[in-house]
Amino acid sequence: MVHVVIAGGAGNVGREIVEELIQQGKHKITVFSRTDRPDLVKEGIDVKVVNYANKAELTEALEGVNTVLSFITADPENTAQTNLINASIAAGVRRFAPSEWALASKSGIPHYAYKDVVHEYLKQVKVANPDFEFCLFQPNFFQNYLSYPHKSAKHMFITSIMLDIQQKKALQLDDGAQWTVITSVEDVAKVVALAIDYPGKWPETGGIVGTRIQVKDLISLAQKVRGEPFTVYTVKKDAIDEGIQNSEWLPPADHPSMTPEMQANLAKMLYPDILRALDRGAMDVPPTWNELLPDFKFTDLEGFLNEYFGPKA
C-alpha cells in the first residue's frame, strides 16, 4: 500500500479518479482541497485542507506520500501546481501527474497553454532530481460527453460536444478525415490505478486510447446506432474562424453557471481553437499506456453508444 494524494480531487474529473481508487481499496487516498469538504468527509474520504502558497505546510502534508495526481485548474501563473511540484520533491514524493487529462501537448488551445508551461517546469526540475518520475496522462476527450444529455459519469459534468447524438447534429472539419481519440473517464481512472502499481518507470507522456477513430467514422457510427441520418455542419479548413462564426449550429458550451448568450459566445470563441487542434493532430494521442498495460480492456465505444441511444435504450 502506498499513499496517494489527489490535488483538486474534489472537483469535476478528480472526483471520478478518487472514487475508483477508494473503491479498489489498495492504497491510502488523500484529497487536497483549499477548503473544508464535508461532502467528501461524510463519504469517509480523507481530505486535507491545504494552502498551496505555503510551501512548508505543503511539504509537511506530503511527507510519506508516494504519488501525487493533480487536477488543479484555474491556477493563474501555475502558482499552486508549481508549489505542489516543489513541495513534492522536497518531501521525497516518487511520482507526479500534473493537471493534463486531455489532449496531446502543445495543442495550441490557449485555455490549455498552462499545461505546456507546467510540463516544461517538470522537465527542468527533473534534471536535478532524476529519480522523480512524472507522467502527463492524456486520454483526449472523454467518451462520456457523447451520452449528452444523459448522465454517464457519477460526478463529471456532461456537456454537448461536436457530435450531439441526441439532436442528431455534428460539426465536421472538411471531410472529417481527422483522427481523434475518445476514452471514458472510468477507463482513465482504472488506467491511473494500474499506473500507480506499475513496476517500471512512468513514461513522461502517457497517451491513453479508448478508441481511435476518424471523425467521419465516428459520425457514421452514431448514425448507425440511432438508425437515422444526422445533419452535418461542415467548416472549411481554410476558413475556420468564418465557418464557426457563420455556422448554422454549434454545440452550446453548456454550463449551469452560464446564460444562453454566454454559452453561444463561448462556443464561438472555443471551437476555432478546437478545430485547429483537431487538424493539427492534437486529439490523436499515442497508445502509450495501452502498450504498457496490454491486458487492460477498454470500454467498447459502440456498446457505450447503444446503451444511451440504441434500440434498447
Least distance to ligand NAP, CB of residue 11, Å? 3
Least distance to ligand NAP, CB of residue 32, Å? 7
Nearest CB to ligand NAP, comparing residues 141 and 202: 141
Helix (H) / strand (E) element for 23: namely: helix 14-24
Nearest CB to ligand NAP, comparing residues 18 and 173: 18
Interface contacts to ligand NAP, rule CB under 6 A: 8, 10-14, 33-35, 52, 71-75, 80, 99-102, 139, 141-142
Least distance to ligand NAP, CB of residue 228, Å? 26
Least distance to ligand NAP, CB of residue 36, Å? 10
Do the Cβ atoms of 149 and 249 come closer than 8 Å? no
Nearest CB to ligand NAP, comparing residues 141 and 198: 141
Going by C-alpha positions, the residue among 154, 212, 157 that lies closest to residue 186 is: 154
Please tell me whether residue 96 adopts helix, strand or coil conformation.
strand
Cα separation, 81 vs 59, in Å, equals 13
**What value, to the nearest 5°, has the Cα angle with vertex 260 and ends 256 and 262?**
90
Grid-cell match 435504450, residue found: 313
Nearest CB to ligand NAP, comparing residues 12 and 223: 12
Nearest CB to ligand NAP, comparing residues 99 and 211: 99
The residue number whose beta carbon is nearest to ligand NAP equals 11
Least distance to ligand NAP, CB of residue 305, Å? 17
Least distance to ligand NAP, CB of residue 211, Å? 14
Handedness of CA 43, 46, 51, 53 (dihedral sign): negative
Do the Cβ atoms of 264 and 185 come closer than 8 Å? no
Strand 169-173, strand 163-164: pairing? antiparallel
Least distance to ligand NAP, CB of residue 158, Å? 10
Nearest CB to ligand NAP, comparing residues 149 and 229: 149
Phi, psi of 166, deg, nearest 5: -60, -45
**What value, to the nearest 5°, has the Cα angle with vertex 292 and ends 290 and 295?**
65
Nearest CB to ligand NAP, comparing residues 14 and 207: 14
Least distance to ligand NAP, CB of residue 212, Å? 15
Q: Half-sphere exposure of 17 toward its Cβ, with a 13 Å CA cutoff?
A: 30
Nearest CB to ligand NAP, comparing residues 30 and 99: 99
Cα separation, 145 vs 180, in Å, equals 14
Q: Residue 104: which residues within 8 A CB-CB, separation 6 or more?
A: 138, 140, 205, 207, 281, 282, 283, 284, 285
